[in-house]
């Protein structure tokens, strides 16, 4: 347990360093200063819905971690689902959180990497808030 935490921390720091150096879309943690802390237990609904700061923080987190597959401005180019289609309720929220923390594997191939060790709960809900702020066209 202890070792896993140290390892996770090291990986996260490494990813942050390379992101600062290149901004290359590699998975990287994001700072969520100014947002209410959420504690250990994962929420089942987005606690930041309607929070403008969460939208701004989430935009940076999305562009760094998600846009290369889910599309710039959350407009899917077809290689991954359009995240604007998820409903803004507990069903959509819990599905979003489960997928982002756990990723997705099909027939033994990783289609989406898990972000549970990279992004804090605060970061994940900030990204969710940004996604929900995008118009469905």
Contact between residue 71 and residue 62 where contact means Cβ atoms under 8 Å apart:
no
Cβ proximity to ligand HEC, 53 vs 76, nearer residue: 76
Q: What share of the chain is helix, strand, coil (3-state, %, to 5)?
A: 50, 5, 45
Q: Which two tokens stand for residue 35?
A: 């947002």
Contact between residue 38 and residue 97 where contact means Cβ atoms under 8 Å apart:
no
Shortest CB 2 distance to ligand HEC, Å: 27
Answer for which of 112, 116, 117, 134 binds ligand HEC (CB under 6 A) is: 112
Per CB under 6 A, which of residues 36..95 are in contact with ligand HEC?
A: 65-66, 68-70, 80-81, 83, 86
Cβ proximity to ligand HEC, 38 vs 112, nearer residue: 112
Q: Which two tokens stand for residue 131?
A: 């996604």
Per CB under 6 A, does 115 bind ligand HEC?
A: yes
Q: Nearest CA to 33 among 55, 11, 54?
A: 54
Answer for which of 38, 99, 114, 117 binds ligand HEC (CB under 6 A) is: 99
CA distance linking residue 119 with residue 35, whole number of Å: 14
Chain positions contacting ligand HEC, by CB under 6 A: 65-66, 68-70, 80-81, 83, 86, 96, 99-100, 104, 106, 111-112, 115, 127
């Amino acid at each position: 347990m202890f070792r896993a935490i140290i390892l996770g921390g090291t990986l996260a720091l490494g990813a942050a360093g390379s992101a600062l150096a290149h901004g290359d879309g590699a998975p990287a943690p994001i700072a969520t200063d100014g947002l209410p802390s959420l504690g250990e237990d994962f929420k089942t609904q987005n606690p930041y819905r309607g929070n403008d700061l969460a939208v701004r923080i989430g935009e940076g987190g999305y562009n760094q971690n998600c846009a290369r597959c889910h599309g710039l401005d959350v407009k899917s180019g077809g290689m991954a689902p359009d995240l604007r289609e998820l409903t803004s309720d507990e069903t959509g929220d819990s599905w979003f959180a489960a997928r982002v923390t756990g990723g997705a594997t099909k027939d033994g191939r990783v289609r989406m990497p898990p972000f549970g060790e990279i992004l804090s709960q605060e970061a994940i809900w900030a990204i969710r808030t940004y996604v929900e702020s995008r118009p469905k066209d």
